[in-house]
Structure 1
Amino acid sequence: MTAATSTMVTRWWLVRHAPIAAPPGLITGQLDLEADVGGVTAAGGLPPGAVWLATHLRRTRQTAAALGIPAPRIEPDLAEQSFGDWQGLTYDAVDADASRRFWSAPASERPPGGESFADVVARVSAALERLTAAHAGRDVVAVVHAGTVRAALALALGLEPEAALRVQVDTLSLTRLDHVATPGHPPAWRVAGVNHPCPRSLSRCAICDGA
């Protein structure tokens, strides 16, 4: 068997959840808010027979249900960044000195009782490596969060956490990552598409059509 034929590709389909009903400026983090799934229909473009994942936050589970994803496995390690004591506050309500410290280094500073984005990158990276090993060669569809997608891109592209924070991740967008394992070579990640503006049903997506 040649190296080419023994290459194993695990494809990750990262879907950001539907919009949430929250007032402008609210720090949501891991607040368990409802998703607005009005108009979201079953996704015809996602791969059949995939491993289906969502997080413990209801907005991902509600989005998965609206997309027709059957009984996703819950993976808390793929959840959004926790903003600890700031969750449920508006940005204007946060102590001004603490806010200045946070925004001076948003990738490394931790809100009180919460995580830094660098913590999220470490958590999500470990989960992706673990789940890739468990489901090698499969399609893995995960309904997740903007912070999760940015963390995954930090892993795939070797980005510093601060650089990954610059990536825009829209609701109901699709990001595709491939983990490529070839005997005799270190495993590698490749990026098939980022923040693809799929239709609300994800049924006519260039990333899906080209997969």
Structure 2
Amino acid sequence: MPAPTRWWLVRHAPVINPTNTIYGQIDLDCDVADEKVFTSVARLLPTQAVWLQSPLNRTRKTAAALRAAGAEGPDPIDEPRLMEQHFGDWQGGDRNRIRERHPEAYRRFWLAPADERAPNGESFVDVVGRVSAALDEWSAKLPGRDVVAVMHGGSIRAALAHALALAPERALSFHAETVSVSRIDLYPDGQSAVVFVNATPWRF
């Protein structure tokens, strides 16, 4: 069997969000102060990998912290399709205030099927579509290679849905801790494997 493209999916560092904002694709800062965490994760990542990152500050800063901690590879490439879900008109709003003003729409969006959208935003089904396209295109370009992709909780769930051919609703059950690593292998013939999910420094 031909060698797969090995994807190392890293979730960004904790977002600094004291106001409980619904941030989605808003460019909030993140906390990369815990050197031990980044050193541990950097040791897990392969050398000679291609690096991709969502073009948001929190993923760029996380990638930079991992490389400063010893992870090796060329400069990361921005890949917009790996961004977090876009929450439309709710982005930048206070979560509690939006829940109070739009209780039914809020309930449907957060508790209902994955095809629900915030006003003028994306559904999780939309995220699965764009993330899947990015994974397939890069895998075709990089057969048999390692790819480190620094991304978001939502886009990691989307990648797992793609690898396992899951209904999007089922993939929402996955959890991805900040600065965790998940590994999927995508083969040229369309087969795939999930090697591990949500590996964190205290688990390796």
* Contiguous gaps of at least 5 residues in structure 1: 200-204, 207-211
> Helix, strand or coil for the counterpart of 2:184?
strand
- Name which of 170, 190, 193 aligns with 2:193: 190
Q: Deviations over 1:108-154 (max 9, x none)?
A: 11111210001000110011001111111110001100001100010
User: What do the CA deviations read for 1:176-201 (whole angstroms, capped 9, x no partner)?
Assistant: 001123xxxx42110000001225xx
Question: How far did residue 99 of structure 1 move?
Answer: 1.2
Q: How does 1:65-144 map to 2 (within 5 A)?
A: 65-68=64-67, 70-94=74-98, 95-144=102-151
Letter in 1 for 2:165: G
The reply on whether 1:166 has 2:166 as its aligned counterpart is no
For 2:49 and 2:108, locate their aligned partners in 1 and report how far apart those are by CA, in whole Å.
42
Could you tell me how far 1:75 is from its partner in structure 2? Answer: 0.2
Identity value in percent = 52
Q: Partners of 1:110 and 1:80 in 2: how far apart?
A: 14
Q: Structure 1 residues 67, 104: closer, same or farther in 2, change over 3 A?
A: closer
Consecutive aligned runs of 4 or more in structure 1 exceeding 4 Å deviation = none
Task: Indicate conservation of the 8 Å contact 1:86/1:111, yes or no.
Answer: yes
Over aligned residue pairs, what C-alpha RMSD do you find? 1.6
1:59 aligns with 2:58: yes
Letter in 2 for 1:190: A
Tell me the secondary structure at the aligned position of residue 136 of structure 1. coil
- Answer 1 or 2: which has greater helix percent: 2
Q: How many angstroms apart in 2 are the aligned matches of 1:13 and 1:67?
A: 13
TM-score by length of 1: 0.85
> 2:5 matched to 1:10?
yes
Count matched residues: 192
Tell me if the contact between 1:106 and 1:116 (Cα under 8 Å) persists in the aligned partners.
no
Structure 2 Cα separation of the partners of residues 96 and 169 of structure 1? 27
Q: Which has the larger radius of gyration?
A: 1
Alignment gaps of 5+ in structure 2: none
CA distance in 1, matches of 2:137, 2:201: 28
